[in-house]
Structures are given as C-alpha cells and as structure tokens.
Amino acid sequence: MPQTTGETLQSLATVPNLQVSTGVPLALHTRFGIGGPAAVFVETADFAGFVAALRVVRTAGCQAAVIGGGSNLIVADAGFDGVVLHYSASGIRAEGARVTADSGAELQALVDFTIEHGLGGIETLTRLPGHVGAAVYGNAGAYGHAISERVSRVAFFDGEKLRGFDNSQCEFAYRDSVFKRRKGWFIFSVDLTLEPASAAELRRVASDIARVRDEKFPPTMKCAGSIFKNLLLAELPAAVAAQVPPSAVREGKVPAAWFLEQIGAKGMAEGGMRVADYHANLIYNSGTGTARELCTLIQELKTRVRERFGLLLDEEVQYVGF
C-alpha cells in the first residue's frame, strides 16, 4: 500500500544531501513555462543521495519522475501527484581528448568547455537547450551531427546498481537510444572522445550556428525548440517521398516542418499556445498558454498530417503527469 506524502517526506528526511520541497510549480522547471506543482520535489548533486532517494520513493510505492533541464518537457496543468527527482551534478572534466560530463551539466556549458579546451566534435550542438543527460537520452543533434558520434561510455543506474555502456550498447539511432526505451534507467555521466582542434575555428563555427539558432529560437522564447522529429526520406512510403521536393531534403531527412507547412500549421493557435509564423515546427507559449492547449494543438497538427500524408509525426517532447 503506497505511503502518504507525509510518510514519504519523513523517509526522505533521513537521506543526506537532499533538498526536499513540496508543492513546487513545475512550470519553473520547463522551457514552456507551463505545468502544475509536484507533490514532492527532490534535488541533489550527490549520486548516493539520488539513488537512496529513488529507493525510498519506490519502497513507498509513489509515482516518480526524473527531470533534467525541462527543455523538452510538457507537464500537465494539474502537476504531478508524486515525487519529482532532479539530479543537479554539473561537473565537466577533461583528460587529454576525453571529456567527462555529469548528466546535470548544461549542454551549452559542455560545448563551451570543449571549445575553450580546443577539442572539436560537438560544437554544432551549440545553443541546443537542456542538460547533458537528456542530450544522451534523446541523442541530441544539429547540422548533420549528433552527440552519439562522440560518446564513448555512459554511466547509469539501472534501478539496482551503477553500470556502464560503451557506444554500441547505447543503441543510438536518430533522436533515440536504449535509455529512451528503459524508463527505469537514469544517466549519471558520459565520456566523450573528441579531437584536438583550433579553439578559434571552433568558436567561429559555434558563433555562426548560435546566430542562426537565436534568430529561430530566441533564448527568451517559451518553447522546446522543434516539437516533432524530422523524418528519414528512405523510410517514407514511396508515394509520400515522391511529393517531397529535393530542395527540402537535408542529409537524408525531410524536416517535419515541411509536412506541417503543407497543412497550414504556421500561425495556428490554441489559446495561449501558438505555432510560429516563420517556423511550422515551433510551438511557443505566448504568455498565458496551458498544457491542455499545447496538447490540443499538437494533436491537431498530428491529425492534419496523418489525414494528408498518412504519416504519424513523433514528438521530441516528453510528458509528465498525463
């Protein structure tokens, strides 16, 4: 029988190095700025503390959700009636061309670190929001490159013990990894193998990309970047692929935005949630948006694309509290 919140809080209070709060608005922990409160919010930068807290929660029979930077997160308006755990360790270390980063480090901080140390390989990920753990979890990428190209080892907790996977064991694919399919596993750190390069040249590449991304996804915009995954041209039905102009294909992928443009997505709105006028795969909170409105808009876009092309768009975002 699940414990009450009070009993769970008492158990968590016995775990060292935890910051435990109640009724924390999860809107403060998402890029969309939407979502209700977490019954209990636990934060720690201590690995042992995180594992101990997770075991307390499981023993208590409570619902649990682990979040990172909240860049790709949609939280229900009613919040989450359980325990939200946030691992905040953010260390980044270099040993030669190998860089180790804790999962709670901001991805941009990792990119900046590698550039300053003259190590190339992930500079194209500049301005991608979120934390390192989530980047590995969803195999984040941009401009034809993904973080998986540089991952040599991932340390994670499988619910029982700390384990390590090499690159092949991570089963990376386009915006996918084994961790995305094993919800009970939690990434703690990642080792990247990079290449010595000119810091000035890496900085130039990153600056050019940052300028483009800031125009498309302003840092102050309440959004998760692109909502839907792009589609692999080779995996599209022949009749659909024939409709896609060659100019729309980029590195073997058809942007989800192309399909969304065909169904009139630009400028569509549901309450305070709106599709950008200039980018059909960008939904943002104009200021008063709710999770219900966002989900309604996402579903409408998916329905229109399915009816027009017979395709089911796949979201990059994750859901909590639904």
> Is-contact 125 142, C-beta < 8 A?
yes
> Is-contact 316 138, C-beta < 8 A?
yes
Please list the helix, strand and coil fractions of the chain in percent, rounded to the nearest 5, in that order: 35, 30, 35
Largest Cα–Cα distance in the chain?
62
Q: What is the dihedral of CA 94, 96, 97, 102, to 10 degrees?
A: -20
Assigned token pair, 191:
């080792």
Q: Please, is 13 exposed, middle or buried when counting C-beta atoms within 10 Å of its C-beta (0-12, 13-18, 19+)?
A: exposed
Residue 101's nearest CA partner among 115, 90, 117, 112 is 90
Residue 132's nearest CA partner among 144, 150, 118, 116 is 150
Assigned token pair, 223:
């959004």
Positions marked catalytic: 175, 226, 316
> Rounded to whole angstroms, how far apart are CA atoms 271 and 20?
34
> Is-contact 71 31, C-beta < 8 A?
yes
Q: What is the dihedral of CA 243, 246, 252, 255, to 10 degrees?
A: -60
Q: What stretches of 184-238 adopt beta strand conformation (E)?
A: 186-193, 195-196, 223-226, 231-232
> Rounded to whole angstroms, how far apart are CA atoms 148 and 167?
7
Residue 191's nearest CA partner among 112, 144, 121, 86 is 121
